[in-house]
Structures are given as C-alpha cells and as structure tokens.
C-alpha cells in the first residue's frame, strides 16, 4: 500500500486580520501528482510557502520522515547586471560538475556552454529549465512547482509540461503543481485541489471538477477540454 508523503489537517494562515487559508485539509500519496487550481489571490502560493515552513501557520503539516523537497518558485527575475553565471548559481548548491551535468541533461539542456552565460541574460524558458535542474540536483522525493510556465509563451508552456511529465517518469517523483491551466489537470493530475482560501473541491479530476465547483471557484462559465490521464 502506498504511503502518504504529506498530510495536511486544518491548515490556517492569516496575515494580520486577513485569512489567506481557511481550515484546509488534504493528503498526498507518494509518487502521485496534485494539481492546485484557483483564481488570483486564492492562497495557492501561500499554501506552498506554508508547506515549505517559511511562513507561520496553524494546524498540521506532516511530511513523511526525512523527505527531501525541491521547489521551483513562480517568479525569479535576476537583474541582468548581476555578474553571476549559471555555473556559479549551481555551485551555491553543489560543486560536483557531473551531477550538475546530469541535472541539465534531465531538463533537456545538452549544450553545456550555457553554464558560462550570465543568469540574467538567458531566456525565460532557459531560466525555467535551469531552476528545475537546480531543484533536482539533490534528488528530492517531491517537487513543488509554483506556476512553472509563468511568463512563458504557449509553445514554451507545452514544452515545460512535457518536461515535467518526463522528469516524473525518470525520477519516480511526487509533484505538487500550481497552474491556471485547467487542461493540464486532466493530463497530469492524480488529484486536484480547487482552492479559494478554502477547499472548493478535492479529489480525482474526473470526480472533483464539474460545472458547479468551477462556477464556485471562478464564477461564470469556464471552458476547457477533458483529457484522459496519461495522454
């Protein structure tokens, strides 16, 4: 029987008097993918920050013992004038050239000349791959992705999602993914959490996502196409 890698019970986060997350509970099994969807300001990034333990919360967040967590933030915009190369950025975390090369290969970067480029001068798509490779270096058990396609064009989005599917297969990982793209839910998720400060829906995409829950989540008519999982 598959173990839970994460159990969240009655999670509450407040900033001053404003409630950002309200009594949220869910579980995630090892080697399964959870996609979190919801409108802007729904608390999606707040949830990841609470899971990482970098903001105060009330309730319970129980990770499997000795779990290794990788994290790719939503926006990482290095100043173009910073004289920091991609290689130096990796060396903040690890100095092993072979492991750096393995991570770059995993995200589809074969040309290692990128290591000598300044991190502020590479494209947004390349930067996103670098951040994913950086998060994979110490072989985490779970990856947390906050809008991994933010600021990337549609073609780039499809490439990033294909890349995540490839990484999942190669590394046998658990993934938590925040996205605005409802189509990705059917392609990628074992379970979906519809979040608007509290859980609007939670479960398998086929069971949880319906007109009522989407209307409650976003308001109005939401159009998307259903995909069979794994296709």
pLDDT tens across 26-35, in order? 999 999 999 9
pTM of the entire predicted model: 0.86
Q: Which candidate, 160, 179, 188, places its Cα nearest to that of 38?
A: 179
H or E segment and range at residue 127: helix 124-136
User: Confidence band (pLDDT; 50, 70, 90) for 104?
Assistant: very high
pLDDT for position 226: 47
pLDDT mean over 57-64: 97
pLDDT for position 151: 60
Q: Which domains does the chain have, with CATH numbers?
A: 1-68+140-231 (3.40.50.300), 75-139 (no CATH)
**Which range has the worst mean pLDDT, 4-18, 44-58, 137-151?**
137-151
Six token digits for residue 109 = 């970067």
- Quick: pLDDT tens for 171-221: 889 999 998 778 788 888 999 999 999 999 999 998 898 888 888 888 755
Cα separation, 82 vs 101, in Å, equals 23
- Quick: pLDDT tens for 74-103: 767 677 778 899 999 999 998 999 999 999
Q: Which residues in the chain belong to E strands, given as ranges?
A: 4-15, 18-29, 33-37, 58-63, 69-72, 142-146, 174-178, 191-196, 198-203
pLDDT for position 222: 55
pLDDT mean over 108-116: 91
pLDDT for position 174: 94
Q: Which residue has the tokens 């999670």?
A: 11
pLDDT mean over 138-145: 93
Mean pLDDT of the chain: 86
Residue 61 has pLDDT above 50, yes or no: yes
């Amino acid at each position: 029987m598959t173990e839970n890698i994460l159990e969240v019970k009655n999670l509450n986060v407040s900033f001053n008097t404003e409630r950002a997350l309200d009594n949220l509970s869910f579980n995630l099994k090892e080697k399964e993918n959870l996609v979190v969807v919801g409108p802007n300001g729904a608390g999606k990034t707040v949830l990841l920050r609470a899971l990482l333990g970098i903001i105060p919360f009330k309730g319970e967040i129980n990770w499997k013992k000795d779990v290794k967590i990788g994290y790719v933030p939503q926006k990482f915009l290095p100043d173009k004038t910073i004289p920091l190369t991609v290689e130096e950025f990796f060396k903040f975390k690890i100095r092993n050239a072979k492991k750096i090369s393995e991570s770059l290969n995993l995200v589809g970067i074969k040309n290692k000349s990128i290591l000598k480029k300044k991190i502020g001068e590479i494209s947004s798509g390349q930067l996103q791959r670098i951040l994913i490779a950086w998060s994979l270096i110490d072989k985490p058990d779970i990856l947390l992705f906050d809008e991994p396609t933010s600021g990337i064009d549609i073609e780039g989005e499809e490439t990033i999602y294909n890349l995540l599917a490839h990484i999942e297969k190669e590394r046998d990982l658990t993934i938590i993914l925040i996205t605005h793209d409802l189509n990705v839910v059917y392609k990628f998720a074992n379970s979906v959490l519809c979040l608007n400060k509290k859980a609007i829906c939670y479960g398998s995409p086929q069971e949880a996502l319906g007109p009522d829950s989407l209307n409650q989540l976003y308001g109005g008519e939401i159009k998307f196409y259903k995909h069979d999982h794994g296709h």
